[in-house]
Amino acid sequence: MKQQSTSLAVGAALPTVMRTITQQKIDAYALASGDGNPLHTDPAFAANTQFGGTIAHGMLLLGYVSEMMTAAFGEDWLTGGRLKVRFRATARPGDTLTSAGTVTSVEGGKTVCAIECRNESGEVLVSGQAEVSRS
């Protein structure tokens, strides 16, 4: 049986996902994703870049956003989800990130959400729009 979420009305908040970034988590993502860019995994290398230290993969942050969407929309996210985001700032080891979203429209079986991921200082690291078509 297909697992779907209940309908969310305009203005409804999606369930937030909070995660703390560590170098161990970045390394685990690098291993799983095959993206071993030293900017993510080599503190000595990263220290000499414009970032001054390692940063998390953008796709790791989108993993948190996707978890939020799965929690909110269930299988519909897997079968009819769309995401369009910009990476606006970087996440570093020690940062605590919160992924959040708000429903901005519900029309014709399509739910549109404004989504973002912020660090503990409130800085927006990822922002954009997610859509889910209900099947």
Partner 1 sequence: MTTLAALEKGHEFPPASFDLSEEWVDAYVAAVEDEAIGALDGGFVPPMAVAALAIRALLENASLPPGTLHIGQELAFTAPVRRGETLTVAARIASRGKRAGWALIAVELRVAGDDGTVMTGRVTLSFPAAEGTAV
DSSP 75-118: HHHHHHEEEEEEE-S---TT-EEEEEEEEEEEETTEEEEEEEEE
Q: Which is nearer to partner 1, 82 or 105 (CB)?
A: 82
CB-facing half-sphere around the CA of 78: CA atoms within 13 A: 9
Residues that bind partner 1 (CB under 8 A): 3, 19, 25, 28-29, 31-35, 37, 49-50, 57-60, 62-68, 70-71, 74-75, 77-87
Query: Residue 21 or residue 103: which is nearer to partner 1 going by CB?
Result: 21
CB of 43 to partner 1, least distance (A): 17
Give the distance, in angstroms, between the CA of residue 135 and the centroid of all CA atoms in the same chain. 23
Nearest to 68 by CA among 115, 133, 15: 15
Which residue, 19 or 118, has its beta carbon nearer to partner 1? Answer: 19
- Least Cβ distance, residue 23 to partner 1 (angstroms): 13
Sign of CA dihedral 86, 89, 94, 99: negative
Minimum CB distance to partner 1 smaller for 103 or for 125:
125
Q: How far is the CB of 25 from partner 1 (least distance, A)?
A: 7
Question: Smallest distance from the beta carbon of 60 to partner 1, in angstroms?
Answer: 6
How is residue 89 written in tokens?
A: 């700032």
